[in-house]
Structure 1
Amino acid sequence: MSAAASFRHLDELHPWNDRQQMLECISVTAETADVMTFAFRSERPGWFRYLPGQFVTLELPVGPEPVMRTYTLSSSPSRPFSIAVTVKAQNNSIGTRWMFDTLRPGMRLKAFGPLGDFSFVRHPGEKYLFISAGSGVTPMMSMTRWMADSAPLSDVAFVSCARRPDDLLFRAELEVLSGQMPNMALGFIVEGHAPRDGWHGLRGRIDATKLALLSPDFRERTVFCCGPEPFMRGVRAVLEAAGFDMARYHEESFQPACAPDPAELAARAGAAGQEQAGTATITFALSGKDAACLPGQTVLQTARAAGVRIGAACESGLCGTCRVMKISGEVEMNHNGGILDDEIEEGYILACCSRPRGDVQIEA
């Protein structure tokens, strides 16, 4: 089909729906030796509706049982006909390594989302400071690309950190964007470099001195930070020591903000057991199975014991992958933002963090 024949106005198309539509890979781009960008479109003519900085969870068919992996979108919703994830393959990667070796244009994947609270839309400010390390730059790229397209006068200080100059993802594009956005200040920090790199910028790890050089007014900004946990911990320490108002600090992490300790989990399980006054029964309607849910167990744990497959990734109520429809009954759900209020009103729950209060019927 020609480009002209496939043209549709945006208002003639429907937004992508993760409950009904698959994603089709349309391009694979090598960013560095161990980083690739995978772009997708809807398998049906449509467009993508999400907030800059949100993530999706991909179902990857790596073997007899697929695995779920959560990736931040590096694309911008200001260009809504496709989405992209930029991913780094670690030494022990399973899902990501499969993507590198196998995923090619034309292949289709199931996806869940988009979801996530890490966006300037959810945490607005007068001016922003984006701090990233390595592939943690991806949500910052989504937000900056949107600003360049839709709000080019936004006041943004962008600090990108990496081990070596070659590891600075999107460096060339960021330099172009900073030329298009008059209120954007761009800075790079690398831990080390070789003579051939010709590096004349800042070296070492981010600290109060380097931060003040790259963003003198950082105390007045709303900060978004993403990178490995040790990196984010270091940034938090720098900001706290400088007297920064941490209410304006936001970081991306696929771990619960505050994991309960074992005593709290035991108390929660005990409370659930008292409320249930015995073992509850979960009916998995599509699978045609009834399973006993022991006191304190989640819907997901019971499903696995019964051989009912419910997709799950983070298992902490963040990613939304295990969202299922509750047909009847009541549950106690303690999530971390992985489900929307209107989805809860429709009857959806997150199986990983929902415990039955009596008999429950689930669409799974």
Structure 2
Amino acid sequence: MTLHQPNISTPVTFWDASEPLECISVIPEAPNVATFCFQAPSGALFSYVPGQFVTLELPVPGGPLYRTYTISSSPSRPITLTITVKAQDGSMGTRWMLDHLKPGMRITAMGPAGRFSNHFHPSEKYLFISAGSGITPMVSMTTWMFDSGRPADVMFINCARRPSEIIFRQRLEHMASRFPELDLKFVVKETDPFRPWTGYQGRFNQLMLSQITPDYLEREVFCCGPESFMHSVREALVGLGFDMERYHQESFQPAEEDDVAPMEDDVIPDETVSAEVVFAHSDVTQTCTENDTLLTTARAAGLNIPSGCTFGVCGTCKIKKVSGQVHMVHNGGITDEDVEDGYILACCSKPIGRVEVEA
């Protein structure tokens, strides 16, 4: 493994998506879980906000696959960037990474992006609640606070199936031993054979939340994990009278309909009405209905617009709209400034009449 040493006689440069990432190490964390550590081949440093994510272009058989992962490292340690992935049943991209991504390989990445970060919601007290690989943004934010030397009061709750599947346990326990403001609690569903467990056990619920964090009403809450887990956390907080304006979650699964952000919603797509999309750079025009997204229309025309989540979270499919009108309903994957500049997300934008895009 070759580490690129910064040359203090030359200006510091920062990585951007025009340069691939080089994998320099793979660290097993738990069953079907590993941390992949990357560097920029040029030696450029990484700049991002703790809690943000990147989208990787994975060269799986049959064509590239785009997958979005939260950064598990902290920008306070800018020489490397790490992501920690957990393979689920049916995983394609993550399974490929665990089986094939090795040190020395280079892959294309886009980002960083996202607003799931304590930097955007400053507070003296935080409550971080996570399950499974949803722990990654919490670790990034906690490491940033630890490295800053001025940590906030953090109650850190992580839920796992069993103790051996707790990701980053040793790292978190080390930070908690040096960082009195960090109160660390683990909750498991079942114990490991031959190893006693003296912590919380069972399904995380409202009673457990109020016992672990009596002052939850005073805290800014960040939650990440499977959608069913986050739903139960939201219900618990609502039932306890929590101000949900102070609740923030990260998800790469489709949100509830009431949670999405509509754009240009003065029109409603009609599946019986035809539309036309002009892909200017490709010199292709494709007909469709107003209920088809630009992404599916592009694929029907044989074009490949990079995409990750496909429901408006990751922002990978952002393209420039030249003319026309679309109905866009996204989940936070594009900023108001980008929309004002004419950008849209292909995965969740539906054409109204004739639309021309730079693709």
Q: Residues of 1 paired with 2:196 and 2:107: CA distance?
A: 41
Deviation at 1:314, TM superposition (A): 1.7
Give the aligned residue type for 1:110.
T
Assess, with a 3 A threshold, how the Cα gap between structure 1 residues 272 and 6 changes in structure 2: closer, same or farther.
farther
| CA RMSD across the alignment | 2.8
1:153 and 1:182 in contact (8 A); partners too: no
Q: Residues of 2 paired with 1:10 and 1:249: CA distance?
A: 45
Assess, with a 3 A threshold, how the Cα gap between structure 1 residues 199 and 281 changes in structure 2: closer, same or farther.
closer
2:125 and 2:220 in contact (8 A); partners too: yes
Q: Tell me whether 1:282 sits opposite 2:284 in the alignment.
A: no
Q: Residues of 2 paired with 1:284 and 1:228: CA distance?
A: 39
Deviation at 1:111, TM superposition (A): 1.5
Q: 1:142-186 CA deviation, whole Å, 9 max, x = no partner?
A: 110111011533110111111111111111111111122221111
Aligned residues: 354
1:282 and 1:293 in contact (8 A); partners too: no
Deviation at 1:306, TM superposition (A): 0.7
2:269 and 2:327 in contact (8 A); partners too: no
Q: Within 5 Å, which residues of 2 pair with 1:251-266? A: 251-259=249-257
Assess, with a 3 A threshold, how the Cα gap between structure 1 residues 270 and 126 changes in structure 2: closer, same or farther.
same
Aligned to 2:196: 198
Aligned to 1:89: 87
Ranges in structure 2 where 5+ consecutive residues have no aligned partner = none
Deviation at 1:342, TM superposition (A): 4.1
1:327 and 1:363 in contact (8 A); partners too: yes
Mean Cα deviation higher: 138-147 or 306-315: 306-315
Sequence identity percentage:
50
Of 315, 320, 325, which residue of structure 2 is paired with 1:325? 320
Give the aligned residue type for 1:7.
P
Q: 1:187-211 CA deviation, whole Å, 9 max, x = no partner?
A: 1111121452122222112233432
SS at match of 2:145: helix
Q: Give 1 or 2: higher helix fraction.
A: 1
Q: Tell me whether 1:8 sits opposite 2:7 in the alignment.
A: yes
1:39 and 1:83 in contact (8 A); partners too: yes
Q: 1:296-328 CA deviation, whole Å, 9 max, x = no partner?
A: 433212211110111112221111111223345
Deviation at 1:281, TM superposition (A): 4.0
Q: 1:14-60 CA deviation, whole Å, 9 max, x = no partner?
A: 32222x22211111100012100011122333222222111111111
Assess, with a 3 A threshold, how the Cα gap between structure 1 residues 341 and 21 changes in structure 2: closer, same or farther.
farther
Ranges in structure 1 where 5+ consecutive residues have no aligned partner = none
Give the aligned residue type for 2:88.
Q
Of 15, 20, 23, which residue of structure 2 is paired with 1:25? 23
Assess, with a 3 A threshold, how the Cα gap between structure 1 residues 78 and 321 changes in structure 2: closer, same or farther.
same
2:6 and 2:43 in contact (8 A); partners too: no
Q: Within 5 Å, which residues of 2 pair with 1:164-313? A: 164-194=162-192, 196-259=194-257, 268-270=268-270, 279-285=275-281, 287-313=282-308
Mean Cα deviation higher: 235-244 or 84-93: 235-244
Q: Residues of 2 paired with 1:260 and 1:10: CA distance?
A: 53
1:154 and 1:181 in contact (8 A); partners too: no
SS at match of 1:314: coil
Q: Residues of 1 paired with 2:70 and 2:43: CA distance?
A: 23
Mean Cα deviation higher: 9-18 or 179-188: 9-18
2:268 and 2:327 in contact (8 A); partners too: no
Q: Tell me whether 1:352 sits opposite 2:347 in the alignment.
A: yes
Q: Residues of 1 paired with 2:89 and 2:350: CA distance?
A: 36
SS at match of 1:324: strand
1:157 and 1:186 in contact (8 A); partners too: yes
Assess, with a 3 A threshold, how the Cα gap between structure 1 residues 107 and 244 changes in structure 2: closer, same or farther.
same
Of 114, 117, 130, which residue of structure 1 is paired with 2:115? 117
SS at match of 2:119: coil
Deviation at 1:332, TM superposition (A): 4.1
Q: Residues of 2 paired with 1:76 and 1:213: CA distance?
A: 30
1:272 and 1:355 in contact (8 A); partners too: no
SS at match of 1:333: strand
